[in-house]
Amino acid sequence: MEMTQIVIDVPRDVLDAVKLPSPEIDKALRQELALALYERGALALGKARLLAGMTRWEFEDLMGQRRIVRHYTAADLAEDIRYADGD
């Protein structure tokens, strides 16, 4: 998968205020961004979970913990039914 780097400038005092160990900050910020973009409808579930660096099940579990409603359209239902029917 091709990766593109985006740099976000964060003030030092903001990073210092994050109550997480330094090695966890990058992962946490990616997950928070992925959740926020998914919740706004700006990013599909599959892309959001890729941004978060999580499996589908891990990301959906995190969404459940945060009480973020999964966007589920009629097209998603039709795809799930086709999959269940073995098509």
pLDDT digits (tens, 9 = 90+) for 3-47: 888 888 989 999 889 998 988 999 999 999 999 999 998 998 889
- In this prediction, residue 13 carries a pLDDT of 94
Distance separating alpha carbons of residues 63 and 19, to the nearest angstrom: 21
With a CB cutoff of 8 Å and minimum separation 6, the contacts of 44 are 38
Per the structure block, which two tokens stand in for 70? 């999964």
pLDDT range class, residue 1, cuts 50, 70, 90: confident
Distance separating alpha carbons of residues 34 and 53, to the nearest angstrom: 9
pLDDT range class, residue 87, cuts 50, 70, 90: low
pLDDT digits (tens, 9 = 90+) for 47-62: 999 999 999 899 999 9
pTM over 0.75: yes
CB 52 within 8 A of CB 31: yes
Please give the DSSP secondary-structure letter assigned to residue 5.
-
